[in-house]
Amino acid sequence: MLELAAEKAGWGKPLPAGHGRGIAVVNNIGSYNAQVAEVSVEQGKLRVHHVVCAVDCGHVINPAGVEQQIQSGIVYGLSAALKGAITIDHGRVVQGNFNHYDVLRIDEMPVVEVHIVPSQAAPGGIGEASTPTIIPAVANAIFAATGKRLRKLPIRPEDLA
């Protein structure tokens, strides 16, 4: 699965200056997934261009459902990593409900590829299985592009400069 994600993402092929690839693997809710993220960092601005995910969730009943769950988990994880700040004002949390929770818009989303590993093993869980994988993949890609290790979330422009 790790090799599949790396192969489909073109791991080892050169990237333009300011770009980097990062990889991460997670076993979450009974399913494994590996993700490769390609990012660019220019003048402190981060852009996630491409995400490749290989998933092994056992025997798949509905491949379209698996793909949709993987894609939505990546959106959710990226939104948390890039926009998920909680701010405190006079001892109170400012973000009171979901109308204050900013998610990635369509023009901010990377291209997302999902590759399902064929398996006859018992089905594993798939809902949000990809969420915890995207953040370390992006952080590793940022390190590859800039040499900077990030130690807190959300990712802020000042952490990239």
pLDDT of residue 154: 95
Domain that holds residue 9: 2-147
Q: How far apart are CA 59 and CA 3, in angstroms?
A: 20
Residue 157 lies in a domain: no
Does 121 have pLDDT greater than 90? yes
Q: How far apart are CA 115 and CA 11, in angstroms?
A: 15
- Check residue 81 and report its DSSP letter: H
Residue 153 lies in a domain: no
The total of other beta-carbon atoms located within 10 Å of residue 25's CB is 15
3-state secondary structure of 87: coil
pLDDT band at 86 (very low <50, low <70, confident <90, very high): confident
Does 96 have pLDDT greater than 90? no
Residue 159 lies in a domain: no
pLDDT of residue 105: 94
Does 112 have pLDDT greater than 90? yes
Instruction: Tell me how many domains the chain contains.
Output: 1
Q: What is the CATH number of the domain that holds 128?
A: 3.30.365.10
Mean pLDDT of the chain: 95
Residue 158 lies in a domain: no
pLDDT band at 100 (very low <50, low <70, confident <90, very high): confident
pLDDT of residue 99: 84
Residue 102 lies in a domain: yes
Average pLDDT, integer, range 8-32: 96
